[in-house]
Amino acid sequence: MSVPYSTDDAGHPAPSDGLSQSVGPNGPLLLQDHFLIQKMAHFNRERVPERVVHAKGGGAFGELEITEDVSAYTKADLFQKGRKTPLLLRFSTVAGELGSADTARDPRGFALKFYTEHGNYDIVGNNTPIFFIRDPSKFSDFIHSQKRRADNQLRDNNMQWDFWTLNPESAHQVSFLMTDRGTPKSWRHMHGFGSHTFMWYNANGEKFWVKYHFKTEQGIENLTAAEAKAMEAEDPDAHRRDLWEAIARGEFPSWTVNVQIMPFEDAADYRFNPFDLTKVWPHSDYPEITIGRFTLNRNPSNYFAEIEQAGFEPSNLVPGIGGSPDKMLQGRLFSYPDAHRYRIGPNYLQLPVNQPKVEVRSYNFDGPMAYRNGADPVYAPNTVGGPAAAVDLYEAEGYQVSGEIVRSAYELHKEDDDFGQARALWEKVLSEPERANMVSNIVGHASAPEVTADMKKRVVEYWTNVHPDLGSGVAKGLGVES
């Protein structure tokens, strides 16, 4: 078979695919062998720093189609009825490193990038509608507690429970994590959620608060703790493999896109703080409305270029969609693009996977690895015909805020507490077998040898606050007197 010749990175025909240049067949090698030097030097630079969180993942490309008219709520181009928008979806675990097992008990990242007519729109979600904390100043401490100790670099369940029990707002999310939804069967068999509250505004400037729910059309399927553990040993890449193989077979996974919409004025005295990331909006107050669906239909052709270097950021917003006073969202609007500037480089938005599909006419120039051709003028405003801001598109995005500068928790709304919604999950939603599995998952996790007797008592107290039956089940399993 005739094949094209291989080259070095500058396109020169390669003199050999496996022989270095030496002084005689047995002699030393030569520094002049540019082909060898480039190969070795490039190999040393094959990695970028792995993500501090969500390091292990996989993803695929697809398409969003909007089937319902929601123009009364948002003028965002991608959400207009009939619109089809290409997208990238990356799934991940949170705490494990690049080579870690896919079936570990952990939330799953569910990060979407939509390539819209107004630039990229990203929803950096999870497979749970809530999160462990509600203030970003706790985030690095939270993640440290879930990762590794300083001294022996081991994971440590005592440290995890220490953080969770000292931060009771975590109870709702830890409840989700300890049900069998904490170990999904595959990425195809779980929901995704935007989790945060975002703002939508329509062409008349009317504003709404919105939450996104992406419902799996494959159905929810989970592993038991024992099945997940066994799969960690059998195939640590089980979820990456499942997604890749399903798409390769032409079995394209899909999700229904639902939203909950809250009138702007309701937020002030809604019974829960609607911006608190540890809370859902109960469906009885704000039912889910279906607006469309998306399908994944194409595997990446180069994992590193298209998935490892993909940079998702909630700050990628488009006209018709804004942020909200959700403090975690506010923190993430900064921290995600900042992570990409460090991990990939300041021009990460010029890489094909991150590049918008529309023409970029930015006045940001140069920097490492810049290749976008920015033409004169290099400043704004100018009188020489350079592009000018689309002020009209953003007219409605502002809203009134006022207050003293403080360091304070959110003001409580009338039904806000740390345990009520976790209790609703236990009481109203979980079946009897799901409750039994939740108890045994908690007991299994808190029975690790490093978890101290004192910590086990705190674990029991934490779950008793969610529900006395849950507390007594955990106490019994841990051998703690309740």
Binding residues for heme: 336
Of positions 92, 160, 179, 254, contacts ligand NDP by CB under 6 A: 179
Residue 312: closest CA among 96, 126, 100: 126
Of positions 139, 155, 424, 450, contacts ligand NDP by CB under 6 A: 424
308 strand-pairing partners: none
Of 4-12, 66-74, 150-158, 276-284, the segment contacting ligand NDP by CB under 6 A is 276-284
Task: State the binding string over 383-422 for ligand NDP (x if CB under 6 A, else -).
Answer: --------------------------------------x-
Using the rule CB under 6 A, is 429 a contact of ligand NDP? yes
* 120, 126, 158, 347: the active-site residue: 126
Using the rule CB under 6 A, is 433 a contact of ligand NDP? no
Please list, in sequence order, all residues whose beta carbon lies within 8 angstroms of the beta carbon of residue 224, skipping any fewer than 6 positions away: 180, 183, 437
Cα–Cα distance between 63 and 115 in angstroms, integer?
10
Minimum distance, C-beta of residue 418 to ligand NDP, in the bound complex (Å): 12
Give the residue ranges of DSSP H helices in 83-156: 139-146
Q: Which is nearer to ligand NDP, 115 or 419 (CB)?
A: 419
Using the rule CB under 6 A, is 432 a contact of ligand NDP? no
Helix (H, G, I), strand (E, B) or coil at 463: helix
Q: Which is nearer to ligand NDP, 414 or 428 (CB)?
A: 428
117 strand-pairing partners: 119
Of 9-17, 243-251, 277-285, 379-387, the segment contacting ligand NDP by CB under 6 A is 277-285
Residue 264: closest CA among 74, 68, 69, 71: 74
Helix (H) or strand (E) run with residue 427 in it: none
DSSP 365-413: ---TT--S-PPSP-SSS-SSS-----GGGGTT------------PPPPP
Q: Which is nearer to ligand NDP, 143 or 220 (CB)?
A: 220
3-state secondary structure 146-169: HCCCCCCCCCCHHHHHHHHHHCHH
Q: Dihedral of the CA atoms 57, 63, 69, 70 (nearest 10)? A: 30
Of positions 271, 283, 357, 361, contacts ligand NDP by CB under 6 A: 283
Of 128-167, binders to ligand NDP (CB under 6 A) are 129
Using the rule CB under 6 A, is 434 a contact of ligand NDP? yes
Residue 280: closest CA among 146, 423, 475: 423
Using the rule CB under 6 A, is 74 a contact of ligand NDP? no
Cα–Cα distance between 278 and 162 in angstroms, integer?
18
136 preceded by a cis bond (ω within 30 of 0): no
Using the rule CB under 6 A, is 181 a contact of ligand NDP? yes
DSSP 37-73: HHHHHHHHT--PPPPSSS-SEEEEEEEEEE-S--TTT
Using the rule CB under 6 A, is 278 a contact of ligand NDP? no
Q: Which is nearer to ligand NDP, 88 or 422 (CB)?
A: 422
Cβ atoms of 438 and 178 within 8 Å: the answer is yes
Of 113-121, 147-155, 312-320, 428-436, the segment contacting ligand NDP by CB under 6 A is 428-436
Binding site listing: 336
In this structure, how many other beta carbons lie within 10 angstroms of the beta carbon of residue 344?
Answer: 19
Asked about 54 being catalytic, the answer comes back as: yes
Asked about 382 being catalytic, the answer comes back as: no
Using the rule CB under 6 A, is 428 a contact of ligand NDP? yes
Of 208-247, binders to ligand NDP (CB under 6 A) are 215, 220
Minimum distance, C-beta of residue 194 to ligand NDP, in the bound complex (Å): 11
Q: Which is nearer to ligand NDP, 366 or 415 (CB)?
A: 415
Tell me the residue type at 307: I
**Number of residues this chain uses to bind ligand NDP (CB under 6 A):** 19
Q: What's the token pair of residue 232?
A: 């960690």
Of 174-182, 200-208, 251-259, 449-457, the segment contacting ligand NDP by CB under 6 A is 174-182
Q: Which is nearer to ligand NDP, 373 or 431 (CB)?
A: 431
Using the rule CB under 6 A, is 284 a contact of ligand NDP? yes
Strand boundaries in 309-376, DSSP class E: 321-322
Using the rule CB under 6 A, is 425 a contact of ligand NDP? yes
Using the rule CB under 6 A, is 75 a contact of ligand NDP? no
Minimum distance, C-beta of residue 473 to ligand NDP, in the bound complex (Å): 16
Exposed, middle or buried: residue 403 (CB in 10 Å: 0-12, 13-18, 19+)? exposed
Enumerate the active-site residues. 54, 126
Residues near ligand NDP (CB under 6 A) are: 129, 176, 179, 181, 191, 215, 220, 280-284, 421, 424-425, 428-430, 434
